[in-house]
Amino acid sequence: MITLRTITLENRRAMFNLEVSDDQKRFVASNLSSVASCHVLATNGGHPFPFVIYENEQRVSFVMLAYGITGYDEPSLAKDNYCIMLLMIDKHHQNKGYGKEAMHKIMEFIRTYPAGLAQYCWIPYSPENTSAKKLYETFGFRDNGEVFNEESIMVAEL
Ligand SMILES: CC(C)(COP(=O)(O)OP(=O)(O)OC[C@H]1O[C@@H](n2cnc3c(N)ncnc32)[C@H](O)[C@@H]1OP(=O)(O)O)[C@@H](O)C(=O)NCCC(=O)NCCS
């Protein structure tokens, strides 16, 4: 079973060691740099929600969610909505259905509105990342036509 768990002293090193394959590195920032972004967000009034994702007791994935992103070059809906800033499944655990299960848990968590009510969830992604796009479409995300830092924006209503 897939669960989202907070970063702890015990799991932090394993989380930093989760990685995508070399050809996927152009699609996502490193987990380390995402955790640094969490700090920057939090000190600028945003609400970051980083999680290590487990399949039973095995760490397989990292996700960074956020609400209230300001100060970056971002779409207009960024300020008052939720964002899946980064989702990665470790290269050894891809194509086993974990991405899909993780997305169920992520959307369930977002719909608890942990930082306040919102109408939308958005995701920046590289247009070349067709497998990610396909996955997000399954959850109701659609391109809204905006592009920021060479990443397209997909949006779903909550
Ligand atoms: C995209 C990603 C999160 C998908 O996670 P995953 O655990 O491998 O995906 P799943 O096994 O749950 O499969 C989900 C769907 O995507 C499809 N899929 C997964 N990898 C695929 C690939 N390389 N090519 C084509 N389709 C793929 C599966 O067929 C499945 O579709 P289906 O339900 O119609 O069968 C994962 O490949 C990943 O971490 N990639 C690198 C980081 C990244 O690009 N993150 C997204 C940034 S926006």
Residue 144 Cβ inside 6 Å of ligand 1? The answer reads no
- Are the C-beta atoms of residues 53 and 59 closer than 8 Å to each other? yes
CA–CA distance, 123 with 136 (Å, rounded to integer)? 9
CA–CA distance, 138 with 158 (Å, rounded to integer)? 14
CA-CA-CA-CA torsion sign (121, 147, 73, 126): positive
Check residue 76 and give its pLDDT.
Answer: 86
Pocket residue to mutate for ligand 1, from 60, 64, 95, most atoms within 8 A of Cβ: 95
Whether this model's pTM surpasses 0.85? yes
What ranges do the domains of the chain cover?
Answer: 2-157
- Which residues are CB-neighbours of 28 under 8 A, at least 6 positions away? 20, 86, 88
- Which residues are CB-neighbours of 44 under 8 A, at least 6 positions away? 70, 71
Atom 7, ligand 1: residue with shortest CA distance: 99
Homologous superfamily of 2-157 in CATH? Answer: Gcn5-related N-acetyltransferase (GNAT) (3.40.630.30)
Check residue 127 and give its pLDDT.
Answer: 96
CA–CA distance, 44 with 141 (Å, rounded to integer)? 27
Mean pLDDT for back-to-back runs of 10 residues, the chain (158 residues): 97 95 97 94 94 97 94 85 98 98 98 97 97 98 95 98
Residue 124 Cβ inside 6 Å of ligand 1? The answer reads no
Phi/psi for 24 (5° steps) reads -100, -5
Q: How far is C-alpha 61 from the geometric centre of its chain's CA atoms?
A: 10
Check residue 72 and give its pLDDT.
Answer: 74
Atom 28, ligand 1: residue with shortest CA distance: 95
Check residue 150 and give its pLDDT.
Answer: 94
Q: Which residues of 49-61 are buried (b: 16+ CB within 10 A; e: fewer)?
A: bbbbbbbeeebbb
The CA-CA-CA angle for residues 139, 23, 52, to 5°, reads 50
Residue 84 Cβ inside 6 Å of ligand 1? The answer reads no
Check residue 146 and give its pLDDT.
Answer: 95
